[in-house]
Amino acid sequence: MIVRKLSEAKPYEAPNHRKYKSLRLFGAETGGSQALIFGISHFEPGGGAGPDASPPEKIYHILEGELTVIAGGKEIVAKAGDTCFIAPNENREIINRGKGVCTLLVAVAAPPK
């Protein structure tokens, strides 16, 4: 078992993201999980990511605020308590159109070794 405190999380830069801060808790360079990369992201108003697509599947769970998710020809507003799945290679864009910071948990399938 590994327990990691939020204060131990490592900041990281994600490609094609704007007005955000992300912390990686497990996976990739932080160790622990081999199958998942797990972190927490904070998107400021006007912040977001994409539009783009990438091979790993993704899951976003909104903790606070709201996030507009555009994928598969649909646009939804995910709010606190909502969870969104993005399929592998699915084109997606996420935008914080709200007035406050949107905080979400992010799980991404780790690339095969």
Q: Of 45-54, 91-100, 104-113, which gets the smallest average pLDDT?
A: 104-113
Angstrom CA distances, 90 to 7, 8, 13, 112, stand at 32, 32, 21, 19
Using CB atoms within 10 Å of the CB of residue 9, give its burial: 0 to 12 exposed, 13 to 18 middle, 19+ buried. middle
Structure pTM? 0.94
**Rounded Cα distance, 77 and 82, in Å:** 9
| Residue 113 pLDDT greater than 80, yes or no | no
Average pLDDT over the chain, rounded to an integer:
96
Helix, coil or strand: residue 98? coil
Which pLDDT score is estimated for 21?
Answer: 98
Could you give the domains of the chain?
12-109 (2.60.120.10)
Tell me the pLDDT band of 24, cut-offs 50, 70 and 90. very high
| Cα–chain center distance at 41 | 6
